[in-house]
């Protein structure tokens, strides 16, 4: 789908509650392709987390200087306020990033990059996405995630034992906290 400001394209992974649009979601996750310099869409009342997945990255700069960050290290999440007027300048060609947006009045998010086996607690809503390597989710409903595959839930999930398979594993683990 086109960006809110028309300057790029994003592939929505999940947007809740079901049927919510850009102005009334509680939380939203997407992967964006940034192919040119330009402004980020403004989302008043929304907190954002952006994580470089691939490509040369971008320099993010807000008008007031609150945000001045080179997003050029893959899998290093950056959180910022959605209403911040941010301009993105490509550093070395196009890039893809993982985006989390949460409506401040409804919830907040924490995003971790997991690289080794761990126990993941039961949570009410969240998302797991394999970025590198396969990941075995062991629990009440065992399954394997291949690279670029994920799992999201909007009701209580079981606790899992997360086991990486292969070299240099990476799993994005998103937890939502509701007010």
pLDDT digits (tens, 9 = 90+) for 68-101: 999 999 999 999 999 999 999 999 999 999 999 9
pLDDT number for residue 158: 81
- Residues in the chain, overall count: 179
Please check whether residue 5 is in contact with residue 39, taking contact to mean a CB–CB distance below 8 angstroms: yes
Query: Which DSSP symbol is given to 141?
Result: T
> Is the predicted pLDDT of residue 169 greater than 90, yes or no?
yes
Question: How confident is the model over 95-154, as pLDDT tens digits?
Answer: 999 999 999 999 999 999 999 999 999 999 999 999 999 999 998 778 999 999 999 998
| Rounded Cα gap, residues 4 and 7, in angstroms | 8
Cα angle vertex 124, ends 119, 129, to 5°?
55
Residue among 77, 57, 106, 69 nearest 174 (CA): 77
The two three-digit tokens of residue 125, written as one number: 């809503």
Q: Which domains are assigned to the chain?
A: 9-103 (2.60.120.10), 107-178 (2.60.120.10)
pTM above threshold 0.85:
yes
Q: For residue 11, what is the enclosing H or E element?
A: strand 9-16
pLDDT number for residue 22: 87
Q: Which residues contact 64 (CB under 8 A, 6 or more apart)?
A: 84, 85
> Is the predicted pLDDT of residue 1 greater than 80, yes or no?
no
Residue found by looking up tokens 């291949």 in the block: 146
> If pLDDT is split at 50, 70 and 90, which confidence band does 44 have?
very high
| Rounded Cα gap, residues 118 and 159, in angstroms | 11
pLDDT number for residue 4: 64
- Residues facing residue 102 across a β-bridge: 27, 47
Count the neighbouring beta carbons within 10 Å of the beta carbon of residue 73: 10
Question: How confident is the model over 7-32, as pLDDT tens digits?
Answer: 668 899 999 999 998 899 999 999 99
| Rounded Cα gap, residues 52 and 175, in angstroms | 19
């Amino acid at each position: 789908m086109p960006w809110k400001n028309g300057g790029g394209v994003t592939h929505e992974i999940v947007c809740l509650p079901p049927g919510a649009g850009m102005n009334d979601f509680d939380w939203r996750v997407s992967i964006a392709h940034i192919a040119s310099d330009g402004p980020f869409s403004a989302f008043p009342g929304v907190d954002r987390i952006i994580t470089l997945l691939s490509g040369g990255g971008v320099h993010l700069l807000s008008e007031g200087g609150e945000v001045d960050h080179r997003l050029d290290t893959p899998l290093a999440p950056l959180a910022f306020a959605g209403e911040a007027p941010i301009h993105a300048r490509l550093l070395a060609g196009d890039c893809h990033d993982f985006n989390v947006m949460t409506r401040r009045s409804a919830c907040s998010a924490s995003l971790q990059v997991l690289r080794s086996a761990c126990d993941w607690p039961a949570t009410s809503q969240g998302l797991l996405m394999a970025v590198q390597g396969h990941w075995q989710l062991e629990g009440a409903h065992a399954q394997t995630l291949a690279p670029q595959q994920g799992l999201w839930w909007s009701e209580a999930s079981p606790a899992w034992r997360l086991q990486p398979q292969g070299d240099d594993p990476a799993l994005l683990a998103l937890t939502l906290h509701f007010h």
